[in-house]
Structure 1
Amino acid sequence: MYYTYYFSSMAKQIPPIITFLSLLILLFMIPITTGTKKSSYGVRSYHNSLKLFVFGDSYVDTGNFLNSPSYKPPYGITFPHQPSGRFSDGRVLTDYIAWSLNIKSPAPYSLRNSSELQYGINFAYGGTGVFNTFLKGPNMSIQIDKFEELIKQNIYSKSDIDSSVALVSSAGNDYFQYLFIDGRNIKDILDFGASLINQLSLNLKRIHSVGIKKITVGLLQPIGCLPVITTPSSFAKCNETLNMLVTKHNELLLKTVQDLNKESGSVIVTLDFYKSFLSVIETMQKKHDVANVLQPCCVPESSIYQCGSVDERGEKKYSLCDKPELSFFWDDFHPSQNGWDAVYKMVQNPLLQI
């Protein structure tokens, strides 16, 4: 996504395996959407007692990254029919989680005002990580700092926090920073992953310590299946080496969540985006109306451009598929609304636990 130009200009200097591993991180700058039908996700009556607080990257950012491509066409063409800061053609994960809780999506922190705080706040910022990334957006610790400041200002009461839910999107961008920007040794990636999980554990403890007892954490999806990874194979197959690394990360995260639930008495549930992505991709590949499920709907003309790019005359430097509602991926890194709709339907059962 926002790393596309920098990555493409340096990729030739890096061995193929590091090129693939580098993109592991991009996953979490990723945002998401849903190709939902009005009959399933139409107008409904919302209640105000429950609030959602969101921390993470572009998979859950609904508008905090104000200068990002997500505020330019063609983002948002499916929902809300104009760019809204979501990294997709439509709704993202946050929108689905809010819908499952019977509330509206919480306002982005960057766009907040006193009349839009009743459903919570979204602190997530596309391109950020658990640690700092070169985009210099607020990492997860800083996002939690902002949350604590609102509590100190009595924006939210103790009862508000006690009855709220937190959504956390973890750490893909950190891997990219470590491997690609910092140029660290690939043999140390597992040690770095352990330190990443350790910091994420501390972040989850902080969120719980302010009074939020119910937390939802997304596992990493199969990064090896992202279009930016599958481009060399003409979107024919996923990279299994990358996917194996993702499974190691997810194993550590699952163990951490299990330990935290025992220690703190919190209710932390995980959403298995790894298995659900693979399952939906496999299902869509069998459908005759999806020619190549790994190919994104929005395709840049070359590696130095990204979805939404235009030249000095305003001419588009990308092409769009005819039917975004049939695609799984929207751009090189993010699912389409249709893709997230299918994935959400597979992971919604754990949400019943909260």
Structure 2
Amino acid sequence: MQNTILTAAIFLFSFMFTLKTEAADFEQIYVFGDSFSDDGNFYKITKSELGIGIPPLPYKDGRFSNGPVWVEYLAQDIGLNPSSSTNFAVGGAKSGLYNVTLPPVPGLYLTGVLSQINKFTTVNKSVNPNALYIVWGGTNDFLYSKSAVNPSQSVTNISTAVRALATIGAKNILVTNLLNLGDLPGTRNSPTSKQLNDSVTEYNADLSKSLNSLSQQLNNVNIIFFDVNYLFKQIFANSKQYGFTNVLDSCLGNSVLITIPASPPSFDCKTNPNMFLFWDSIHPTTAGHKVIAEYAASVIKSQPILKSFNKLETSRK
């Protein structure tokens, strides 16, 4: 399976950094994003402020799915234990400062991707260079807009996030593009389906160009471009190869963009939910997340990563 990877220019003039080929050498994973990567943060905030955790059952343990999300599986795939303490993704996050949640919940106000990054860089003036940093945002910029969105601002937000992480010492940053949002169960037959896919096409192209430019500007930073759009196209075209019998409908139903509160599951959904690619009309089942993680791991392992031996030697003393 082919994949698209942007790798930063790597300069070997410094003895501090050298190339490794095993993704398992990462010591931690830090995650910034929205509901695709949220391992319970939205649930904790709404539980605290509203007294009711969202999403409710039959969503699983505060995830926007029926089980673990892709970053949790990815941690395991590369030899780490998932940690909620290093996952800052919040459901509803836009690529910028804000969240799309309506009615407004004060605790969710400044939880966009850039807000997550800003809080992180304020607390951490330097970070572990041997960690993997993941940035996936932009979906909510387009899904919850009442009019056409200019992709350039969303690209600028993600690029700003990447630069901010690099500034405090992040060396390996995985950036995910967007899947075709007009092909989701909740949007596939909507009047906005084509507009959404056109916006995603423009966004993904601009993001690739922006990250390529960043990779030329940032010394000793490895930017890994994760083409999730390509993966989903492959799943749609070869669903049985990936273990799915239904990639068009969601397990919980397609009538709304997000099923909260959840509608009663169908018989197939109750008996074999992971035959579906999608859990609700936006979010993958945990089986779908597992496929995303496996592909992400293959992308990471297919290229060199940057390691700091200075830190390793210091940690042994």
Structures share fold, TM-score greater than 0.5:
yes
Q: What TM-score does the superposition give when structure 1 sets the normalisation length?
A: 0.66
* Aligned with 2:212 (options 254, 258, 266): 258
Map of 1:127 onto structure 2 = 92
Return the offset for 1:289.
Answer: 7.4
* Aligned with 2:28 (options 30, 51, 75): 51
Sort the Cα spacing of 1:56 and 1:211 in 2 relative to 1 into closer, same or farther, 3 A: same
- 8 Å CA contact retained: 1:218, 1:271: yes
Question: Where do 5+ consecutive residues of structure 1 fail to align?
Answer: 1-46, 77-83, 109-120, 153-157, 310-316
Return the offset for 1:232.
Answer: 5.7
Return the offset for 1:240.
Answer: 4.6
> Partners in 2 of 1:202 and 1:305 — Cα distance?
29
- 8 Å CA contact retained: 1:130, 1:141: yes
Sort the Cα spacing of 1:213 and 1:306 in 2 relative to 1 into closer, same or farther, 3 A: same
Determine which structure has greater relative contact order: mean sequence separation of CA pairs < 8 Å that are 6+ residues apart, divided by chain length: 2
- Residues 1-354 of structure 1: pairs in structure 2 closer than 5 A: 50-65=27-42, 66=44, 67=46, 70-76=54-60, 84-108=61-85, 121-131=86-96, 132-135=98-101, 136-151=109-124, 161-177=128-144, 179-180=145-146, 184=147, 186=148, 189=149, 192-230=150-188, 239-265=193-219, 266-284=221-239, 290=245, 292-299=246-253, 303=256, 306-309=259-262, 317-320=263-266, 321=269, 322-352=271-301, 353=303, 354=305
> Partners in 2 of 1:126 and 1:52 — Cα distance?
19
Q: Which runs of 4+ in 1 moved over 6 A?
A: 285-289
Equivalent position SS for 1:270: strand
Map of 1:116 onto structure 2 = none
- 8 Å CA contact retained: 1:50, 1:101: no
Equivalent position SS for 1:167: strand
> Partners in 1 of 2:212 and 2:82 — Cα distance?
28
- Aligned-pair identity (%): 26
2:234 is aligned with what amino acid?
A: S
Sort the Cα spacing of 1:263 and 1:228 in 2 relative to 1 into closer, same or farther, 3 A: same
Return the offset for 1:306.
Answer: 2.2
Question: Where do 5+ consecutive residues of structure 2 fail to align?
Answer: 1-23, 48-52, 102-108, 306-317
Aligned residues: 261
Equivalent position SS for 1:161: coil
Cα distance per residue 1:154-196 (max 9 Å; x no partner):
xxxx5x612111110121112345x32xxx5x3xx3xx21122
> Partners in 1 of 2:26 and 2:79 — Cα distance?
10
- 8 Å CA contact retained: 1:127, 1:137: no
- 8 Å CA contact retained: 2:33, 2:90: yes
